[in-house]
Structure 1
Amino acid sequence: MMFTACWTSYACRLQMPILVVPMILEAPVNYTNGGACVFDESRRRRDIITNPLDPTSYLEQYVLDLVQEKRDRNLLYSLERRQAEPIVTRPPDAPFAFFSGLPFDWTPTIRGQLLASYSYGNMPGNLIGGWLSMRYGPRSAILWTSILAALVSLISPFLAQCHWGLLLFSRIIIGVTGGITFPACHTMVAKWSHPNERSRMIWSLLGGTFGTILTYPMIAGIAESMNWESGWYIPSLLMLMWTVVWALIAYDSPVEHPGISVEEKDYILNGQAGIVRTEKPRWKQTPLLQILLSVPFLSLIILHFGNLFLLFFYQNSLMLYLTKALGFQLTKGGAAAGAPWGGRMLFGFFFSWAGDTIKRKKIISITLLRKLATIFSHFIPGIFLILVGYVGCDFVLANIFLFFALGFNGAALISNLSNNQDLAPNFAGFLYGIMNTIGTTSGMIIPPIVEEIAGKFGNPIHRWQTLFWIGAAVSIGSMIVFLFGGSGNIQKWNELLPLENPKENVEAGQTKMEPIGGTART
């Protein structure tokens, strides 16, 4: 259920980055199967050197030239016809429509703000989610915020028809709800996982990655074959159906689940003994000052920022790069944009299994494990990101590099996405809320940067090279900080602070005879 919760959350998150292409009018540059890149490919194919010792190679080259010339003529005719067609946009005074399919005449600046607006809400949403899940439980936090997100997404086409500012505000609300999901899931991981199986359970948070794989081609296909409004309606209705299943099946902890076997419950609780408390901490029991002054946690925040910078760069900008700079059709761009997330999911499964195995067999310390994992989650993706900018119109090579860049980032499951569980499992969701609050600021700054460096100039490939260098620098730089300040050891402030009122201690599940960090009870 955590897997599906992250899946549906990402569906709402990615609607705007995908639908911004058909929703907003832009001159038809580099369309169809490659635009200018197709002509570059034509020139390269004519540069093939024939073998003078093989007469058939001349014939093969002649046939290739004839086929390519016909393809170029057809493509040029298609482009000229599109440019000659009158551009139709939605008039400001047009009546409300469910399925008009007409784009809006909005500026690149508005487009950048619409893409960044999710992060405006996501940043405080993570902090709110960390507290809500800690105090009231992750089940309720995810249920009600998911219902709100689905309803807001459902009416987004009407908000857009009123004014782009209302659409921006709705994206902020959805950002708040999305920010609550992942801290809540981290609280669930802490409550449900055996310490030696924690990384594999954190893998369930890659439901967001799986959602990306399906969401990109699904929403892009709906928008291209039907209309962009349906790209809002259909996923929103599916999410409302999912909330019913979540309400019936999900529970906060093994202690509260009515159908769990005694053997399984004892296995989990005995493994967590002395590490994770069964009760929900209150705000008075949260060592906020110690958390904010902890060097290992501050290093983790920086590492997490670098990871989210990489992910938001993909989510908010990859569709623009594939459709505007490389010239994919919307549907093909959606499929290509979703493929690297499949690599992240597959690689993540391997890394989570490897991390749990190393931890269980105590091959190396947890601290060293987390730091070595950053090489795969941050350094290697940064290198591949740089290489993407230098392959030009080579679609195959560009997508291979994108696949490996995001694929190796699956190691984040055993670096920044597990480290909060190491430091303080009692406050894992709250810590993740703080991490994500700061980390998601990257989503606020990336879209304006992309529009300023590349969007205003028609998205030429050489300007995207600069953007790829920026993304790589942030990813690798954050890794270096963690190598010096990170830790995998449980911190002293993991223990719950005692409440001053004895009655409150009893209500919270503590008594005077119970050690704060232990499990003995009177």
Structure 2
Amino acid sequence: MELSNDSTIDRIASPELKKGMPMIGVRHLQSLLAFTAIFTGYLLRVNMSVAIVAMVPVVNSTDFYEEHKNHIATFDWTHKTRSYLLSSFFAGYLLGNFPAAILGCYFNNKLLLALSTTITSLLALATPVAVSTYGSPVLFIIRFLQGLAQAFLLPMCHGIMARWVPPNERGRLVGFVMSGIQFGTMITLIGAGYLASTSFGWPSIFYASGAIGLAWTVVWLLLGAESPQTHWFLSQKEANYIQESLQGVSHHGSQADKVTPWKGIFTSLPVWATTAAHVGYNWGFWLLLSEMPTFISTVHGFNLREDGLLSSLPYLAMFLLQLPASYLADFLNKRQCTTLTMSRKIWTTISMWGGAAGLITLGYLDDNATFTIYLYIFVVAIGGTCNLGFNINHMDLSPNYAGLLMGITNTMASTGGLTAPLAVGYIISDPNSVNQWRVVFFLGAGVLFFANLIYLIFGSAKTQSWNSPEKKIVS
């Protein structure tokens, strides 16, 4: 059951309230802080992908001798051990998402986000000494614990932004926040490779990312707030504007004294449609991002992973496309050219059906490495438009439970990072076979196509009736 229609005019504060307000307000500051939270989170997440290459150098290579010359520890882990170490973070992340989202319903989201980043950062700082002393078992435990801690990141950011951002500004502000994923990944791929090549070696990757995480936490505790009602220098005019924009769809009381509408959530077709889109997107694009370097290397003989700048280009393209696309989305909504539901579906379709078309095309590019790389970058870039579609749909459906909804859909979507590589391993017996890679790409395209089809049929941006929470009855 839905509470309201999704015409944008019904969810926009009166123009009089915006008069006299500065162009940049505290809600923009909160968006910047949330963006840097996700940016920092991905520094701490992706750092291992780059560091492990330097931690396990090819014996007798230049890197091997340089690291020993600088008294930097190296390891002779097998490919299987490295795979376990890389997947340990995602195991913790998968297990932690849903519990993190539930805790977000009962405890202060600002403090949970600060605690999450602090724990992840301290573990990063402890990594060099711990792994040099105790080896791979302790590194596995550290990465698993970091995954558990970082499971709070997206649910808390969604919960906080749902209280701060007016519906007609969600595309550009929340889209900007979510682009921290691409920006963080891009900077890590470039910066971590540089740090590993210095005399400080791979330990400096963990020290730098850990220090940045702790610095962000201090700034967040000083300037961040869970909601407009708890911010210490928000003007009354901007507070009134935000409150009127969210009037009737977002409550400002304590989460702990509300009844969580579990039945409403799990019987809501729009929630399941958003979940399907999230699962399909993660599956298709994890396939693309994790397996394309291998395809280009084995089929075209070009090693993307050896060039940090080139490997970061897809993320740079996605980040740069995000900004103009988000302004266009909000402009069309504000002018009532599109309803919120229409807007979410259009941008999700560009992301997912565009990605599906790209994967099918890639299956037939067996003799053109340059065009393959260009197409790869393009497909990854348009994938970022999902941040204007289903990836912010949680806030439309229920501003009061946006963090919980993100925890639910992200838990299910996290399986993509685990199952997509397994599917590739099952299909690919000869990495040089174009026909086998074609099957992989067609499978990914099929997942993207049908996930988006479900979203087109059942998706909605209308606020759900169960968004308005009931008070717990105290006997």
Band the TM-score falls in, shorter-chain normalisation = 0.7 to 0.9
TM-aligned CA distance change 1:324 to 1:257, over 3 Å: farther
1:148 aligns with 2:119: yes
Counterpart residue number, 1:3: 35
Aligned-partner Cα distance in 1 for 2:50–2:451: 28
Which of 283, 292, 303 does residue 328 from structure 1 map onto? 303
Equivalent residue for 2:224, pick from 250, 265, 286? 250
CA distance in structure 1 between the aligned counterparts of 2:197 and 2:366, rounded to whole angstroms: 26
Distance across 2 between alignment mates of 1:271 and 1:297: 23
- Asked whether 1:136 is paired with 2:100, we answer no
Deviation at 1:111, TM superposition (A): 2.8
Q: TM-score, normalised by structure 1?
A: 0.76
> Which runs of structure 2 are paired with 1:110-509 in the superposition (5 Å)?
110-161=81-132, 162-203=134-175, 204-226=177-199, 227-282=201-256, 284-313=258-287, 316-317=290-291, 326-328=301-303, 330=305, 332=307, 334-392=308-366, 394-450=368-424, 459-460=431-432, 462=434, 464-501=437-474
Q: Helix, strand or coil for the counterpart of 1:211?
A: helix
For residue 228 of structure 2, give the secondary structure of its aligned residue in structure 1.
coil
Structure 1 CA distance for aligned equivalents of residues 85 and 437 of structure 2: 20
Describe the superposition over 1:18-70 as per-residue Cα deviations: whole angstroms up to 9, x where unpaired: 2333334669xxxxxxxxxxxxxxxxxxxxxxxxxxxxxxxxxxxxxxxxxxx
State the structure with more CA Rg.
Answer: 1
Quick check: 2:112–2:152 contact (8 Å CA) kept in 1?
Answer: yes
Between the aligned partners of 1:17 and 1:472, the Cα distance in structure 2 is 26
Question: Does the 8 Å contact 2:293/2:304 carry over to 1?
Answer: no
Q: What is the alpha-carbon distance in structure 1 between the residues aligned to residue 269 and residue 100 of structure 2?
A: 23
Deviations 1:374-396 (A, max 9, x none): 22110102222343454457453
Whole-angstrom CA distance in 2 between matches of 1:279 and 1:323: 54
The corresponding residue for 2:6 is none
After superposition, the Cα gap between the structure-2 partners of 1:197 and 1:479, relative to the gap in structure 1 and judged at 3 Å, is same
Q: 1:87 to 1:124 in 2, by over 3 A?
A: closer
Identify the range of structure 1 (243-252 vs 221-230) with the bigger mean alpha-carbon deviation: 221-230
1: distance between equivalents of 2:63 and 2:345? 57
Q: Match for 2:139: what amino acid? A: L
TM-score by length of 2: 0.83
2:345–2:390: 8 Å Cα contact kept in structure 1?
no
- 1:87 Cα shift? 8.6
Output the amino acid matched with 2:74: L
Residue 159 (structure 1) shift: 4.3
Kindly state the Cα deviation for residue 302 of structure 1 after the two structures are TM-superposed: 0.9
Q: How many residues align?
A: 438
Further displaced range: 439-448 or 188-197: 439-448
Task: Please give the secondary structure, in 1, of the residue aligned with 2:179.
Answer: helix
Using the alignment, how far apart are the partners of 1:432 and 1:98 within structure 2? 45
Match of residue 21 from structure 1: 53
Query: Where in structure 2 are the equivalents of 1:96-111 lying within 5 Å?
Result: 100-107=72-79, 109-111=80-82
Q: Tell me how far 1:321 sits from its aligned partner.
A: 5.4
Task: Return closer, same or farther for 1:441/1:17 CA change in 2, 3 Å cut-off.
Answer: same
Distance in 2 (alpha carbons) for counterparts of 1:345 and 1:286 = 35
Give the 3 Å change call, closer, same or farther, for CA 399–354 of structure 1 in structure 2: same
CA–CA separation in structure 2 for the residues paired with 1:318 and 1:12: 23
1:372 partner SS: helix
Gaps of 5+ in 1: 28-80, 503-522
Offset of 1:210 from its aligned partner? Answer: 0.8
Percentage of pairs with the same residue? 25
Q: CA deviation at 1:179?
A: 1.8
Gaps of 5+ in 2: 1-32
- Which amino acid letter does the alignment assign opposite residue 76 of structure 2? F
Q: Alpha-carbon deviation of 1:291? A: 0.5
Shift of the 316–235 alpha-carbon distance from structure 1 to 2, 3 Å rule, reads farther
CA gap 1:273/1:86 in 2 versus in 1, 3 angstroms:
closer
Please give the per-residue CA displacement for 1:87-140, whole angstroms capped at 9, x wherever unaligned: 99x9xxx9xx99525242313x33333232222111232223323333222211
Secondary structure class of the residue paired with 1:278: coil
Residues 242-283 of structure 1, C-alpha deviations (whole Å, 9 max, x = no match): 222222111111111111111111111111111111123237
Give me the whole-angstrom Cα distance separating, in 1, the residues matched to 2:174 and 2:183: 14
- C-alpha contact (below 8 Å) 1:199/1:353 kept by paired residues: yes
Question: Kindly tell me: are residues 212 and 135 of structure 1, through their superposed partners in 2, closer, same or farther at Cα, counting changes over 3 Å?
Answer: same
The amino acid that maps onto 1:113 is Y
Q: Which amino acid aligns with 2:271?
A: F
Q: Which moved more, 1:352-361 or 1:171-180?
A: 352-361
CA distance in 2, matches of 1:137, 1:176: 18
Counterpart-to-counterpart distance in 1, 2:172 and 2:108: 22
CA contact (8 A) 1:392 1:461 kept: no
Q: Secondary structure at the match of 1:488?
A: coil
Deviations 1:466-498 (A, max 9, x none): 443333332222111212221221111111022
- 1:213-239 CA-to-partner distances (Å, cap 9, x unmatched) read 111111122224443333323222222
In structure 2, relative to structure 1, the CA distance for the partners of 1:320 and 1:128 (3 Å cut) is farther
Query: Is 2:114–2:220's contact at 8 Å kept on the other side of the alignment?
Result: yes
Partner letter of residue 328 of structure 1?
N
Judge which range, 117-126 or 16-25, deviates more: 16-25
Distance 2:56 2:288 in 1: 20
Residues 323 and 16 (structure 1), Cα distance of their counterparts in 2 relative to 1, 3 Å cut: farther
SS in 1 for 2:471: coil
